[in-house]
Structure formats: C-alpha cells, structure tokens
C-alpha cells in the first residue's frame, strides 16, 4: 500500500485473533508513535505483567513509561510472549 500517511491512512489497532489481545497506537498521527498492548481493560507492562489500565486522566508519566512501546515490533513481541493465564487459566 506504500506510504500510508500519503494516502491519509494511519493504522491504529492490530488484533491477535486467538486471544483477542490488541496493540493500539496511543499517539496522534503527527507525533512519534507509541503503542499499548491491551486486553479486557488491562494493559501489558514492559515487564510482562497485566495491570488494570487507569482512566486517561490518571495515567501518570511512570505508568506510561512502564506500559508503552515506541517500536511496533517490540509491542508485537510482547503480545506474542505475554502470559494469558490471568484471562484463560493455565495453558493445557
């Protein structure tokens, strides 16, 4: 599709079909991209732990640093490596 910005398109969400977890772009199109890994109101931290995500007005700089990626491939790896047992129980 080429340069997405030249077409006015900026992808903002990628969904993992097996678990329903998703990566969402959390920055405006004109800003440096940042991404969150989310599932059922929880947000994956950079250390691999799921935490309830506070309302936007309650997300301080510490929370954002711990729960955001600036590289989409790193967010994808975190999504693939995440422990989903809090949502689905232990893997069989």
Q: What pLDDT does residue 67 have? A: 98
Decide if 76 is inside a domain. Answer: yes
Decide if 80 is inside a domain. Answer: yes
Q: What pLDDT does residue 91 have? A: 67
% residues pLDDT > 90 (the chain): 80
Asked whether the predicted pLDDT for residue 8 surpasses 90, the reply is no
Least confident interval from 5-14, 18-27, 53-62, 73-82: 5-14
Asked whether the predicted pLDDT for residue 43 surpasses 80, the reply is yes
The whole domain housing 42 covers 10-85
Pairing of strands 50-52, 35-39: unpaired
Asked whether the predicted pLDDT for residue 1 surpasses 50, the reply is no
Decide if 68 is inside a domain. Answer: yes
Alpha carbon distance 54, 75 (integer Å): 19
CB 39 within 8 A of CB 22: yes
CB 34 within 8 A of CB 27: yes
* Number of domains the chain is built from: 1
């Amino acid at each position: 599709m080429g340069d997405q910005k030249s077409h006015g398109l900026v992808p903002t969400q990628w969904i993992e079909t097996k678990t329903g977890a998703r990566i969402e772009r959390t920055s405006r199109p004109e800003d440096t991209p940042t991404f969150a890994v989310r599932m059922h109101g929880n947000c994956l931290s950079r250390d691999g732990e799921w935490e309830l995500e506070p309302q936007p007005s309650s997300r301080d700089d510490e929370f954002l640093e711990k729960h955001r990626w600036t590289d989409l491939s790193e967010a994808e790896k975190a999504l693939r490596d995440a422990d989903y047992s809090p949502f689905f129980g232990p893997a069989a």
